[in-house]
Amino acid sequence: MLRRATLFGLALIGATPLLAQAALAQEVNLYSARHYDTDLRIYENFTRETGIRVNLIEGDGEQLLQRILTEGDNSPADLYVTVDGGRLQRAVEAGVFQPVEDAYLDSRVPANFRDPNNLWFGLSARARVIFTRKGERPDWLNDYEDLADPRLEGEICIRSSSSVYNISLLAELIEDLGADAAEQWAAGVARNLARPPQGGDRDQLRALAAGECSVAVSNTYYWGALAQSDNADDRAVADAVAFFYPNQGTEAAPGRGAHVNISGAGVAAHAPNRDNAIRFLEYLVSDEAQAIFADSNNEFPIVPGVQIHGPVAPYTQFRNSGVNVSIYGINAAEATEIFDRVGFP
């Protein structure tokens, strides 16, 4: 179901380059697949700084993408926000975005978290990592490749192969290891499943804490959500498990880094309020908005050096793979085919 909201505020002078221009009482139309009420605070702050009201349409990412395509040249969409690098790449291939050449955005968003042609820019990040029960991590378990080790037969809890998070992880491994090695990895993980995949990432962590498996794969922000839950049972799950970032290597021999996925946004191809959309993008990568993105949903800032709080705040120092996240979409079809071939449920 789509949700519509309009946010109003007072006109002030902002700090970023375009925000520093005199603001007019205008609007920006945001189509967003992020479903976090805490994001509304970001939109309200932007309106207060600029006088530009945010007209919000929320929905499923694919649903919104199809809506923009159906609306065609007459689409009122100024910005399209979605979750997962693969989904952003599908929007690129569908011709939904237009390029934005903006020195401020380029300086704020690392190259691997923005489209190579500046069609979209990352807004927030989450790492897909390996969990064990506290104090029970084997000393040989360090990398994603180790999940296929026969020593983990019957020990892994992970979401199904239809999960976009797992498709994107395998898509990156295709890029890093090559298709043949990535297929061997997927087959090995499938053999090591403790149970048929069921539920979301929180369910994998609950199963790990309950002893149904000894290793689980989850995005970091789901652990953060459990850690600060109002439910005592959820907090107990978070306290019972621990995670590490795979493929970190050592100081002397650094690894390629952990798999990181993002939320991102791009200016729509037929945006009626293009300048306002760029102002909004600039605000979304400001320190203020980045901290709200991160703290409200236990994600990581896209912009390096932004201070955050909450459960994941002590875990911001790690090496990411540096792979441009557009690869997740480019390799997604091949990743899905591999999962099907090896019988990964």
Tens digit of each residue's pLDDT (9 = 90 or more) over 260-317: 999 999 999 999 999 999 999 999 999 999 999 999 999 999 999 999 999 999 999 9
Q: Are residues 131 and 121 in the same domain?
A: no
pLDDT at 25 over 90: no
The C-alpha atoms of residue 19 and residue 152 are separated, in whole angstroms, by 53
Quick one: pLDDT at residue 167? 98
- Position 10 scores a pLDDT of 27
User: Does residue 203 lie in a domain region?
Assistant: yes
Where b means 16+ CB within 10 Å and e means fewer, 298-316 reads bbbbbbeebebebbbeebb
120 and 178 fall within a common domain: no
Residues 206 and 337 in one domain: yes
Q: What's the token pair of residue 27?
A: 């609007």
Q: What is the CATH number of the domain that holds 146?
A: 3.40.190.10
In a domain, 173, yes or no: yes
334 pLDDT more than 80: yes
- Based on C-alpha coordinates, what's the Rg of the chain? 20
pLDDT (tens digit per residue) in 80-114: 999 999 999 999 999 999 999 999 999 999 999 99
50 and 160 share one domain? no
Mean pLDDT (the chain) is 93
Higher pLDDT, 34 or 5: 34
- Residue 317 falls inside a structural domain: no
Residues 248 and 267 in one domain: no
pLDDT score recorded for residue 38: 81
In the chain, pLDDT over 90 holds for what percent of residues?
91
Closest to 298 (Cα-Cα) out of 200, 224, 205, 219? 224
What average pLDDT does the segment 308-330 reach? Answer: 96
What does the alpha-carbon distance between residue 69 and residue 170 come to, in Å, rounded to a whole number?
A: 28
**Rounded average pLDDT over 45-49:** 96
**The pLDDT value given to residue 280:** 98
Domain span including residue 43? 3-125+262-312
pLDDT at residue 312, rounded to an integer: 96
Instruction: Give the pLDDT band (50/70/90) at residue 331.
Output: very high
Domain assignment present for residue 323? The answer is no
Q: Is residue 321 assigned to a domain?
A: no
Residues 237 and 299 placed together within one structural domain of the fold: no
Mean pLDDT of 319-327: 97
Interval 11-16 mean pLDDT: 36
Domain match, 95 and 8 both: yes
Domain contains 187: yes
Q: Give tens-digit pLDDT for 224-267.
A: 999 999 999 999 999 999 999 999 999 999 999 999 999 999 99
Do residue 60 and residue 48 come from a single domain? yes
If pLDDT is split at 50, 70 and 90, which confidence band does 22 have? very low
Q: Strand pairing partners for 97?
A: 268
Q: Are residues 28 and 97 in the same domain?
A: yes
Which ranges in the chain belong to alpha helices (H)? 39-50, 61-71, 85-93, 103-108, 164-177, 179-191, 201-209, 220-227, 232-240, 274-284, 287-297, 326-330, 332-342
Give the separation between CA 283 and CA 198, rounded to whole angstroms. Answer: 38
Report pLDDT for 37. Answer: 82
Q: Does 2 score more than 70 pLDDT?
A: no
Specify the pLDDT at position 238. Answer: 98
- pLDDT the model gives residue 13: 29
pLDDT at 98: 98
Residue 320 included in any domain: no
161 domain residue, yes or no: yes
Strands 53-58 and 156-157: unpaired
**Residue in 78, 99, 74 with CA at minimum distance from that of residue 29:** 78
Q: Which of 225, 216, 266, 275 is nearest to 87 (CA)?
A: 266
* Number of domains the chain is built from: 2
Mean pLDDT of 317-333: 97
pTM (predicted TM-score) = 0.91
Residue 249 and residue 136 share a domain: yes
206 and 98 in a common domain: no
Residues 338 and 205 placed together within one structural domain of the fold:
yes
